[in-house]
Structure 1
Amino acid sequence: MSRHNPDAELNERAQHLLKVMVRRYIRDGQPLGSRTLTRESGLDVSPATIRNVMADLEELGSVWSPHTSAGRVPTDKGYRFFVDSLLTVQGLDAEAVRKSDLQLTGGQSPDALVDSASNLLSGLTRLAGVVTLPRHVTRSLRHVEFLPLSDRRVLAILVLNEHEVENRIVHTDRDYTQAELQQVANFLNGEFAGRGVDQVREELLRSMEQDKERMNALMASVIELGGKVFDSDAEAEHEDYVVAGQTNLMEFQELSNVDKLRSLFEAFTEKRDILHVLDRCLAADGVQIFIGEESGYRVFDGCSLVTSPYSAEGEVLGVLGVIGPTRMEYDRVIPIVDMTAKLLGSALNQSH
């Protein structure tokens, strides 16, 4: 005797029960049994009927039982169906929007705005807020200076755009005198001042491909020092992100064991995995959600990332979002992430 076909699309009753289960589990973090679901659902059906529907949902992979005698909890697949098909996004409180707008005001430096945005995300969602630094904004070279250090190291002082100053230490193949460094700086400033950093890098790379034996000593020095200062790997060090509210994750039981917290905090520190996930969102249109294993990184199993790119002057500059447990309040988090992305983009427009 066959029961319901678990491969069929979820009927209205199953969708309603899944929605009730997910919302209740997000709120309490406890498995739900059939009696609780019967009471919470408002459906005029017996617990036995509820159990049959739950069995079908389990066969579909939308729910699972942590223990034989316990109730059921949503799976990543169940959350995905909930987010895509059953979620009703909350409207934002006007006062919260006003306060957020005040926190992200134009006139701050891009770094300060990014820091404010990460704290805003963390404060409003009580999760971990992450924001990548603006990485695709045009960065123009205004001036460069070099200072010799010990152990074949040189300090490069870069003035970018109008008033951004960056210091980079490069390791060289030989020691340079202050006079040699001044010559190199004079050449770079004369040739490249006012040009985009990407253009400078491309021009230096083209020069590196020329016959090195035909280069004079000055050009050889320009290629070595300039190539390292404007190297894409050096630039990548500044294409980073800031994070706020990591300790908020300790409040969730499913993330609070020592091993899980250690791996998450290592991911925040090493940054590579998080950056790879965020980079995938640069071309996204609006809010994007990774639930559990969808991120492609085991360290984020049991976590969800809600992200959105942010733009200024029509150009995507970076990505922001929150990281939290899969049972986060998606209806609250999604509009907060969307709002913060728009406010940050607007503030960056004003700062330029």
Structure 2
Amino acid sequence: MLDDRAKLLMKALVERYIADGQPVGSRTLSKASGLDLSPATIRNVMSDLEDMGLIASPHTSAGRVPTARGYRLFVDTMLTVQRDGLQPPELVAEQPQKVIANAAQLLSNLSQFVGVVLAPRRASVLHHIEFLRLSERRVLVIIVSPDGDVQNRVLFTEVDYTQSQLVEAANYLNAHYAGLAFEQVRDRLAGEVERLRAEIATLMQAAVSIDAQAGQPAGEVVISGERNLLAVSDFSSDMRNLRRAFDLFEQKTQLLRLLDVSSRAEGVRIFIGGESSVVPIEELSVVSAPYEVDGQVVGTLGVIGPTRMPYDRMIQIVDITSKLVSNALSRPR
């Protein structure tokens, strides 16, 4: 636990470092905090904060910088968000894809960092399905969507089905469930298991349960403003960190995981690099919030920037943009 003096000094150090990007020394901290303390007293407090893992001393400077743990303490207990009348333009209620793209650009323009939006998942509909026996207890499931998109997945089964059994199961699904969403197919199959032969029912249930991977693709990640990181001194001084950041955007897999975690929480969340495996790059932080369509959370959006970002302003930008997207995508009442 920190006493009030240590909290004030910690808060002043983080704010000064965010503003200047330079390690903060005891003399600078004395002026920034407004406390009438001797340099020796401030150095003792900073030493205690360093022992607690909240700040660190770069080798090239006598000053201190916040650690991931220090940033977490700051955003959780010391950050006050001032509503400074931020007035972003409204997002016009048009095609969802356009709203999502505009939102990513808006986040980037307002933050001067990277705007990222996880688009809603597309509803998956069964148009046609086939099963092909590959080997003992291995079945290839071929799912065709109404727009002609083909998804293939290998299904490992508990029993060894013959090809004639697989054809029978596919014919039944195509005859009775074509045109329905996979969720509807799952619900109906659950109620019809007693009327179907048990082994075929199990196969069909297993097939439609893989729609989270095949029939229902994850929402698209829309990114805007990656080049803004080129102007951030934290990255321009070390191109390795910048390349790692761009690799993250290129792969998008980690971003999907991160944004999916964000969608399960209410309100704005802050992920600080180096704090956990969620954000794999120590120099990056993410401020995110879910957005809704007609009261149901369908996606997430956020800002990605350096850990040395003005969190109070980023929270405002993300919070307001999530509300704008929710309003633009929701049907008129």
| TM-score bucket of the superposed structures, by smaller chain | 0.7 to 0.9
Written as runs of structure 1 = structure 2, the 5 A alignment for 1:30-49 is 30-49=22-41
Matched, 1:275 2:256: yes
- CA shift digits 1:207-261 (9 cap, x unpaired): 999656x9xxxxx9xx8xxx69x84323454423111111112222222322222
Cα drift, residue 273 of structure 1: 1.3
Letter in 2 for 1:196: A
Letter in 1 for 2:292: S
Written as runs of structure 1 = structure 2, the 5 A alignment for 1:57-76 is 57-67=49-59, 69-76=61-68
- Sort the Cα spacing of 1:201 and 1:129 in 2 relative to 1 into closer, same or farther, 3 A: farther
- CA shift digits 1:18-42 (9 cap, x unpaired): 1111111111111011111122222
- Sort the Cα spacing of 1:93 and 1:73 in 2 relative to 1 into closer, same or farther, 3 A: same
Matched, 1:264 2:256: no
Cα drift, residue 284 of structure 1: 0.7
User: Could you tell me the percent identity over the aligned residues?
Assistant: 42
Cα drift, residue 294 of structure 1: 3.0
SS state of the match for residue 256, structure 2? Answer: helix
Cα drift, residue 140 of structure 1: 7.0
Contact 2:108 2:115 in 1 (8 A): yes
Letter in 2 for 1:315: Q
Contact 1:130 1:244 in 2 (8 A): yes
Contact 2:270 2:288 in 1 (8 A): yes
Tell me how far apart the structure 1 counterparts of residues 285 and 245 of structure 2 sit (CA, whole Å).
12
Aligned length: 303
- Sort the Cα spacing of 1:301 and 1:69 in 2 relative to 1 into closer, same or farther, 3 A: closer
Q: CA RMSD in A?
A: 3.6
Cα drift, residue 92 of structure 1: 4.2
Letter in 1 for 2:68: D
Matched, 1:110 2:101: no
SS state of the match for residue 287, structure 2? Answer: strand
- Sort the Cα spacing of 1:172 and 1:11 in 2 relative to 1 into closer, same or farther, 3 A: closer
Cα drift, residue 288 of structure 1: 0.9
Matched, 1:243 2:211: no
Matched, 1:328 2:313: no
- CA shift digits 1:38-90 (9 cap, x unpaired): 22222222211111111111111111100265210111111111111111112
The residue number in structure 1 matching 2:112 is: 126
Which runs of 4 or more aligned residues in structure 1 lie more than 3 Å from their structure 2 counterparts after TM superposition? 143-146, 154-157, 169-173, 187-193, 200-212, 235-238
Letter in 2 for 1:254: D
Unmatched segments (≥5 aa) in structure 2: 130-141, 155-169
Aligned partner (choices 294, 299, 307) of residue 280 of structure 2: 299
- Sort the Cα spacing of 1:234 and 1:171 in 2 relative to 1 into closer, same or farther, 3 A: closer
Matched, 1:14 2:1: no
TM-score of the superposition, structure 2-length normalised?
Answer: 0.78
Select between 250-259 and 305-314 the one with higher mean Cα deviation: 250-259
Letter in 1 for 2:297: V
Contact 1:66 1:73 in 2 (8 A): yes
Letter in 2 for 1:111: Q
Contact 1:110 1:351 in 2 (8 A): no
Contact 2:272 2:279 in 1 (8 A): no
The residue number in structure 2 matching 1:199 is: 184
The residue number in structure 1 matching 2:162 is: none
TM-score of the superposition, structure 1-length normalised?
Answer: 0.74
- Sort the Cα spacing of 1:298 and 1:304 in 2 relative to 1 into closer, same or farther, 3 A: closer
Cα drift, residue 329 of structure 1: 0.5
The residue number in structure 1 matching 2:158 is: none
Unmatched segments (≥5 aa) in structure 1: 1-8, 147-153, 159-165, 174-183, 215-219
Tell me how far apart the structure 1 counterparts of residues 57 and 242 of structure 2 sit (CA, whole Å).
24
